[in-house]
Structure 1
Amino acid sequence: MTEQTERPLAEPRPLGEVRTWPRSFTDRLTAPLPGVRAVARLAREGRLRPGAESLRELAGLPVEPGPLPVVDAATTALTWAGHASWVVATGGLTVLTDPVWSRRILGTPPRVTPVGVPWENLPRVDAVVISHNHYDHLDAPTLKRLPRDTHLLLPAGLAAWARRRGFTRVTELDWWEAVELPGPAGPVRFDFVPAHHWSKRTLTDTCRSLWGGWVITAPGGGGRVYFAGDSGYGHWFERIGERYAGIDLALLPIGAYDPRWMLGPVHTDPEEAVRACADLGARAMAPMHWSTFLLSAEPPLEPLRRVRAAWEASGRPRGDLWDLPVGASRVLTCAT
């Protein structure tokens, strides 16, 4: 008997529900956070960003912006805006994941590739899903561009942050919880699922809000997409795949992994991402979280080289690796 049979999916919770959470989610950590010694070692080794020699690769980063695909309510299509930001058209809704349209984020050099979708080219945004509150995933200047009645779907502990900024349709969830948004083809379901990561936005709020990924399920067999946000590799991927059978596409991070001694617990490397895709039982994988901000020491194009090699070694069909350039789109063909 699979876990999916033993644990049926949760009933959707009410939209906009006001909830009370524990003061800290530290008990959800899967590895200790780096301490002062780790930060000192990182500075001593000088491995904060790619070396000057490898920065020559920046000219080869793939960018191919194009028009957003026009699809009906029975079809799911995705466009990579860069980093962990996707424009997901599903069930007749337009959903943004971790939208960052800013040129810079706190503590990081400016973008090395442009945003793949100009803001003015976006249709009306029906919902935004946020994986966690790090600045490269929760970008206040980008969210300020949205109408305040846009649905924000957030990890537990982040609703107050959004409501202080005037958003009126805010829903926060714990792991394995779900909500549904009405769409022209029927309700689109959003499930918040675990990840190996952490949260912090200021000096005093470490792990005060939760972190995780999202499973987005369109009505009527229109597609199931898993968005990982940020995560290290672990048993969660297999658990998610058992509970949410038939994932058509997994959006998985492949960058910001070097040095491994520090980043391994919280960021998958390319080989781990391919392994996670198999654990999830996903038919296809779209790499993300690379080629936008230089967050760690690996050469800019190394994640792409390594994920292609790992995918080939796995023996899976080449067409099921959606190694899209920034700005590119693809329409999801669902399993029958």
Structure 2
Amino acid sequence: MFAPAGLGRWFRRRRFTRVTELDWWEGAELAGVRFDLVPAHHWSKRGLTDTCHSLWGGWVLTDSDGQRLYFAGDSGYGHWFSRIGRRYPGIDLALMPIGAYDPRWWLSDVHCVPEEAVQATLDAGARHMAPMHWGTFVLSAEPVLEPLTRVRAAWEKAGLERADLWDLPVGASGVLEWSAPSGARGATAAAAPHPASH
């Protein structure tokens, strides 16, 4: 189990025997895939008295061929997205949070609005975006389908290719097809997602 720093004990109490705690910008490898913990703007809490006693973050996964996925986790918008893109060039797919943002006076620091998620995808230099963190639970005041409607409008307004917004139906899955020119890795590889319901 790879976990943000400070969460090792929590996982061990739940019978995980092999736990590696990571700080931001640290990584570990498993079965040819590197997992790097990257910054996010949020907080952590597992109980009533442990607010911010452990780290929080997102993950960048890189396989041995250089295919790269960025899971932003729970985060507000900020400069860390472009910093992640500079440290991990050639992100093929970014999973970006688009929901639980209203009211803004309370949630703006910790949750992106859909328009910020599109900008964060651009800041990170990702080729494709998969919206997440919306529609599963009623956590905030916006209508349940509003995040998806807004992210589609923001994507179009930014002039991005519709096929690069991977807004799969709830419960669907897809395969990210990837091919690299001879000798290319990460930054020069081209990815083309093809949604497929299973």
Query: 1-side partners of 2:57 and 2:156: how far apart?
Result: 28
Identity %: 74
Which structure 2 residue ranges, 5 or more long, are not aligned?
179-188, 191-198
Query: 2-side partners of 1:234 and 1:158: how far apart?
Result: 25
Q: Offset of 1:267 from its aligned partner?
A: 0.2
Equivalent residue of 1:169, what SS? Answer: coil
Larger Rg: 1
Cα deviation, 1:211-233, whole Å, max 9, x if unaligned, reads 00000011123x20000110000
Question: Aligned runs of 1:130-209 on 2, under 5 Å?
Answer: 152-182=1-31, 187-209=32-54
Q: Which of 138, 148, 153 is the aligned partner of 1:304?
A: 148
TM-score by length of 2: 0.89
TM-score by length of 1: 0.53
Aligned partner of 1:264 in structure 2 is: 108
Q: Work out which structure has the larger RCO, using CA pairs closer than 8 Å and 6 or more positions apart in sequence.
A: 1
Query: 2-side partners of 1:267 and 1:290: how far apart?
Result: 11
Equivalent residue of 2:122, what SS? Answer: helix
Equivalent residue of 1:309, what SS? Answer: helix
Runs (4+) of structure 1 exceeding 6 A deviation are none
Give the counterpart letter for 2:18 in structure 1.
R
Root-mean-square deviation (Å): 0.8
Question: Aligned runs of 1:1-336 on 2, under 5 Å?
Answer: 152-182=1-31, 187-221=32-66, 223-334=67-178, 335-336=189-190
Query: 1-side partners of 2:140 and 2:58: how far apart?
Result: 22
Q: Offset of 1:164 from its aligned partner?
A: 1.2
Equivalent residue of 1:207, what SS? Answer: coil
Query: 2-side partners of 1:219 and 1:268: how far apart?
Result: 31
Q: Offset of 1:333 from its aligned partner?
A: 2.5
Q: Offset of 1:271 from its aligned partner?
A: 0.2
Number of residue equivalences: 180
Equivalent residue of 1:214, what SS? Answer: strand
Q: Offset of 1:176 from its aligned partner?
A: 0.1
Q: Offset of 1:160 from its aligned partner?
A: 0.5
Equivalent residue of 1:272, what SS? Answer: helix
Query: 2-side partners of 1:307 and 1:331: how far apart?
Result: 21
Query: 1-side partners of 2:158 and 2:2: how far apart?
Result: 34
Give the counterpart letter for 1:214 in structure 2.
W
Equivalent residue of 2:96, what SS? Answer: strand
Larger fraction in strand: 2
